[in-house]
């Protein structure tokens, strides 16, 4: 299991794996926002939590189509399916690798980008916390989407169409935590909801992903 995780991480860091691309995308989206809505500090600080959440979500989405595609193309997915390791564990590790290479860097970069958007001081902690809790769900849901579309030639666009609606609950609660945190309102309820969604998706969705992958490997 650990060997598989290490292999995935190594693949991601190597050129073509797409590591860093998500981060760069996150940076660019954030930089573009003031150009599109204007440089007023008050406006930026109001929308900063939402923009940062949306940027992180899109950056997550960007790297999803590479999640299983490389293994699909070189046939190692077939090997993994016949390996003694259950496919549920394989997809969980894939999701974990995706989170470590995409989600976690986004969480760490978010405060820096928060400075650019004039995020209010109390908001930083909540932004990081909400992203830390929310991004694993995005990786797990994304793995499901990647498993659904893995066999398709033009899967990238379809993948976004399928995954984005599934991201809605996570986005609503996550951005709500960041927004409330920035304005100093209590954040416990949405944070608990967000944690609940993340926990439930991690516990249940790998079964669906594995089932879908088995169908695609048939």
How many other C-beta atoms are found inside a 10 Å radius of the C-beta of residue 24? 12
Three-point CA angle 128, 184, 111, nearest 5°: 25
- 215 lies in the site for other proteins, by CB under 8 A: yes
C-beta of 80 vs 197, nearer to other proteins: 197
Token look-up 């398709």 returns 152
C-beta of 90 vs 109, nearer to other proteins: 90
- Least distance to other proteins, CB of residue 201, Å: 9
- 212 lies in the site for other proteins, by CB under 8 A: yes
- Least distance to other proteins, CB of residue 176, Å: 6
- 199 lies in the site for other proteins, by CB under 8 A: no
Token look-up 């669906």 returns 208
C-beta of 32 vs 161, nearer to other proteins: 161
* Residue 166 backbone dihedrals phi, psi, to 5 degrees: -70, -20
- Least distance to other proteins, CB of residue 58, Å: 16
Question: CB under 8 Å, gap of 24 or more: what pairs does 62-65 form?
Answer: 62/18, 62/21, 62/22, 62/25, 63/18, 63/21, 63/22, 63/98, 63/101, 63/102, 64/98, 64/142, 64/143, 64/145, 64/146, 64/159, 64/163, 65/146, 65/149, 65/155, 65/156, 65/159
Point out which span in 70-78, 81-89, 103-111, 207-215 binds other proteins (CB under 8 A): 207-215
**Of 47, 70, 125, 211, which one interacts with other proteins (CB under 8 A)?**
211
Three-point CA angle 86, 8, 205, nearest 5°: 45
- 112 lies in the site for other proteins, by CB under 8 A: no
C-beta of 135 vs 149, nearer to other proteins: 149
Question: CB under 8 Å, gap of 24 or more: what pairs does 38-42 form?
Answer: 41/118
Structure-block tokens of residue 197? 């969604």
Residues 139-198 that bind other proteins (CB under 8 A): 144, 148-149, 151-152, 154-155, 158, 161-162, 164-166, 168-169, 172-173, 176, 189-190, 193, 197
- Least distance to other proteins, CB of residue 152, Å: 6
Q: Which residues bind other proteins (CB under 8 A)?
A: 144, 148-149, 151-152, 154-155, 158, 161-162, 164-166, 168-169, 172-173, 176, 189-190, 193, 197, 205, 208, 211-212, 215-216, 218
């Amino acid at each position: 299991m650990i060997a598989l995780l290490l292999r995935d991480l190594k693949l991601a860091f190597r050129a073509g794996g797409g590591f860093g691309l998500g981060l760069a995308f996150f940076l660019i989206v954030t930089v573009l926002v003031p150009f599109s809505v204007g440089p007023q500090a008050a406006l930026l600080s109001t929308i900063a939590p939402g923009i940062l959440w949306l940027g992180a979500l899109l950056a997550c989405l960007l790297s999803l189509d590479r999640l299983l595609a490389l293994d699909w193309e070189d046939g190692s997915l077939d090997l993994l399916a016949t390996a003694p390791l259950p496919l549920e564990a394989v997809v969980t590790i894939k999701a974990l690798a995706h989170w470590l290479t995409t989600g976690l860097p986004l969480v760490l970069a978010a405060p820096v980008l928060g400075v650019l958007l004039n995020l209010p001081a109390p908001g930083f902690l909540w932004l990081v916390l909400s992203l830390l809790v929310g991004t694993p769900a995005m990786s797990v849901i994304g793995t499901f989407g990647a498993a659904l579309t893995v066999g398709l030639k033009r899967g990238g666009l379809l993948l976004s169409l399928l995954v984005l609606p599934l991201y809605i609950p996570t986005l609503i609660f996550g951005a709500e935590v960041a927004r409330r945190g920035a304005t100093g309102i209590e954040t416990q309820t949405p944070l608990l909801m967000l944690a609940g969604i993340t926990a439930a998706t991690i516990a249940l969705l790998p079964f669906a992903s594995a089932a879908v992958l088995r169908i695609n490997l048939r």
